[in-house]
Structures are given as C-alpha cells and as structure tokens.
Amino acid sequence: MTSLAVAFYGATAIWLNRSTADLAVQERFCRAWLCPDEFSSERVFELKQESAAAQSGRIAAELKRALALDSASAYRWADVGEMMASANELDAAKYCFQRALAAGPHSPVILFRAANFYFSINDYPQTLHNLSTILRNPELSEYNNAAFLTYTRMGIPVDEVLSKGIPPNFIPAQAFLRFLMESNQVADAETTWKWISQKSLYDSKTAGEYLGFLIRNKKDEDAAETWRAMNSRSEPDYRQRNWVFNGSFEAAPQPSPLDWTIESTSDVQTARTEGVAKDGRWSLKLVFAGNENVDFHQVFQQTVLKPGKWRARAFVKTDALTTDLGISLRVCDAVEPRFLDVATEPLTGTHDWTGVERTFQVGPQTALVRVEIARHPTFRFDNKIAGTAWVDSVELSPAP
C-alpha cells in the first residue's frame, strides 16, 4: 500500500509539472496536499533569495504559477505580494496582501508579513491595524514583543501607538508597558501608565513593577504620588498625615516597594495576625526562636520624604523577649544610609502596647527612605533572642 501511494504521488508530481496541465485540475490536487515540492515553503524561500540577486522575472513567474495552483492560500498571495513589492509594483502588492489577509485573517504569520509590507511603504495606520489584530488574541502573546519592536521602529508618538496599535485589554496593555520598562523608555512608559490607569487595565503586580521602574529612574516623588492616587480610597491619610503605607497592617501587603515586605528567616517567623492590635483588628507578629543572635531587617517598606524634621512612631507589645536588644523601628536612607540612619529604643521583656518614637532630620540629599521593623545583633554573651513581639500603628509624620 505504501509503495502504491508513493508511486501515485510521484506520478501526480510529474503530471502537475507539465506546462500543458489544466490549472483547475492542478489546483484541486494542491488543495489535497499533493502539490510538488517545487512550491514548498522552503522552495519559495529559495526562489525569493534567487530573485534578490538575478532573474527576478523568471522567479516571479514561478511564484505566480504557484498562486494559480493554490489561489486560496494566504501564503501564496503573500509570496507574490512580497515579490511585487520588491519589484516596486506597489498597487499589485497591495492587492495581493489584501487577498492574503482575506484568506488568512487570523494567521499571525500573514498579519506580520502584511504589517512588514505596509511598514516598508510607510503606511503606518495599516501596520498598526495588522499588528493590533495579533495583540488582540491572547493565544498569540508570544508575538507581542515582535509587534512592539516594530512600533519602536516606526518612530511615531506613543499616543498614536496606544490609540491605534494596542487593544484596550489587560494582556497587551501590560505587556507593552513591560516592554517599555525593560527597554528603559521612561517618558513613553509614563504615558502608557496613564493610559492604562485611566482604563483600569492594571493589577497590583503591574503597578508594583511600574513603581519600582520609576524609583530606579530617580523618579521617587512621581512613584509616591502614583501610589497615593491609586490607594486614595483605602488609605486616605497616606502622604497627608502618615507617610507609612498600611501602617496598621490592616490590609495584606501588595507587591509594591511602597508597601510592606514581610519575610521570615530561619530564626524569626513573621506574619500579620488578627485579634491582637493597638488599632483596628490586625498587627504584625514576630516570633524569635532563640537559636541565633539575629540581625533582622526583613520587614520593611520604602517611602519618600522631603527635607525637614520628621517623627517616627510605632506601638510595640512584647512577651518574654530576651537579651538586651529587642526590636525597634528603624528609618534610613534607602540608597545611602550614611546620610540618614536612626532607630527607636529597642524594647525587650514583657510589655503591653507601648509607644516608641524618634525625631530626626532629613537632609537635602535624602528622598527615598526605608522603614524597617529591625533587630540588631548584640555583643553580649547571652545574645540568642527568644520571645514574641507585636507591632502596630507605624507612623512617619512631619514633626512640629
């Protein structure tokens, strides 16, 4: 049976190659996947390479014959369209790509080939339209960056890209923002973020990435104001009365550099806890296992302060917290701690809720500040800290 099929295919290929063969019959064979190898995708590529060097007329004739054999193929129309474009027959090329898009309206390969053609003739609206069709399909997200690179090559304002080339959907919108951030296009990323936020196309992860991007580019104040605006309903006092976000731990932290990072270590277990609180219902709980002279800085957030006099304050509750150095509230310059590094007095032993505070001066060289719940190692022989502590109502505010 196999040998019969091979013989049949070989005979068919020989017959199809005869110049006198009826094209309508040949087309039916091609639709049945019985076209000869002379018009495989590999052979078409070879023909195009040959046409770039010489004999373009002969190659064009071969590609046209391939199209005649399979006129329903989007690929064949695109092949001829590209050939017409290389010969500067642009009207014919446009017609071919219109037919290619009609035959393969959802094919990313055809859409990209059409986009490349329209890009080559500076028809940017059509380029944007074809690439946005790809971006609209979440199953084609692997093509996102290739589309975004084309947008960059076009050199048009990002507002035009957003209005015509980025579908107002979560996946392409966030992917485009990440592309701009990864290539460090700061101004375009800021414009894109405004567009995304107006259309509510972001989540907490994307927002956190954008804030980190602003901070890395020394736009600390812009990051802080963006964060404040995003959370104005849930945290109305943020940057009005209190420059610590979520200072009472009432909400689970968001993945943002301007919200709490709460991490445990091998000797310190940390978590938000409900039911033990100075204000509200929640606080931060720290349990020290007593195995190490802990140097702990794993609960922190960043904030942005203006030069001037400030007050750091928190409430701490302890239960059998050992050694001479317990936990404290630390505030330091996030980039250069030598410019600012202060802490409240460490609390040990057993205490009900106790207020701790420290007044300090922020100089002109400091903007981005790190706020920590910290424990510094002690030089005492009995230095392995054990016990439990709770922290609540953390505040940073201008000092009178």
CA atoms within 13 A on the CB side of 162: 20
78 within domain boundaries: yes
Last-in-domain residue among 211, 230, 249:
230
Residue owning tokens 């690439």: 131
Q: Write out the two tokens for 125.
A: 């609206």
Instruction: Give first-to-last CA distance, the chain, whole Å.
Output: 96
Tell me the per-residue pLDDT of 4-28, one tens digit each, with 9 for 90 and over: 333 323 332 333 333 334 444 444 4
Residues 123, 226: one domain? yes
Question: How high is the pLDDT of residue 12?
Answer: 29
235 within domain boundaries: no
Nearest in space to 166 (alpha carbons), one of 194, 200, 131, 197: 131
3-state secondary structure of 35: coil
Residues 125, 71: one domain? yes
Please say whether the beta carbons of 372 and 329 come within 8 A.
Answer: yes
Q: Which residues contact 359 (CB under 8 A, 6 or more apart)?
A: 309, 310, 311, 312, 399
Task: In whole angstroms, give the CA distance from residue 151 to residue 119.
Answer: 10
Tell me the per-residue pLDDT of 256-311, one tens digit each, with 9 for 90 and over: 999 999 999 999 999 999 999 999 999 999 999 999 999 999 999 999 999 999 99
φ, ψ of residue 308 in degrees (nearest 5): 145, -170
Q: Write out the two tokens for 232.
A: 């104005």
206 within domain boundaries: yes
Number of domains in the chain: 2
387 within domain boundaries: yes
Nearest in space to 310 (alpha carbons), one of 353, 344, 351, 269: 344
Residues 178, 297: one domain? no
Q: What is the CATH number of the domain that holds 34?
A: 1.25.40
Residues 224, 370: one domain? no
255 within domain boundaries: no
Q: What is the CATH number of the domain that holds 365?
A: 2.60.120.260
Residues 147, 151, 153, CA angle at the centre, nearest 5°?
A: 115
220 within domain boundaries: yes
Residues 348, 209: one domain? no
Residues 165, 283: one domain? no
pTM: 0.81
Question: How high is the pLDDT of residue 186?
Answer: 98
26 within domain boundaries: yes
Residues 150, 64: one domain? yes
Residues 138, 56: one domain? yes
Please say whether the beta carbons of 113 and 96 come within 8 A.
Answer: no
Residues 340, 212: one domain? no
- Kindly give the parts of the chain with pLDDT less than 50: 1-40, 42-45, 47, 51-55
Q: Could you tell me the residue range of the domain that residue 175 belongs to? A: 2-230
Please say whether the beta carbons of 184 and 174 come within 8 A.
Answer: no
Question: How high is the pLDDT of residue 7?
Answer: 31
Last-in-domain residue among 190, 210, 230:
230
Residues 200, 305: one domain? no
Nearest in space to 254 (alpha carbons), one of 235, 241, 275: 235
236 within domain boundaries: no
Question: How high is the pLDDT of residue 59?
Answer: 67
DSSP state, 38? G
Question: How high is the pLDDT of residue 39?
Answer: 41
Residues 216, 107: one domain? yes
Task: In whole angstroms, give the CA distance from residue 236 to residue 13.
Answer: 76
Residues 71, 193: one domain? yes
Q: Write out the two tokens for 340.
A: 């600012």
Nearest in space to 348 (alpha carbons), one of 315, 394, 298, 386: 386
Q: Write out the two tokens for 254.
A: 């968001």
Question: How high is the pLDDT of residue 56?
Answer: 56
Last-in-domain residue among 181, 215, 230:
230
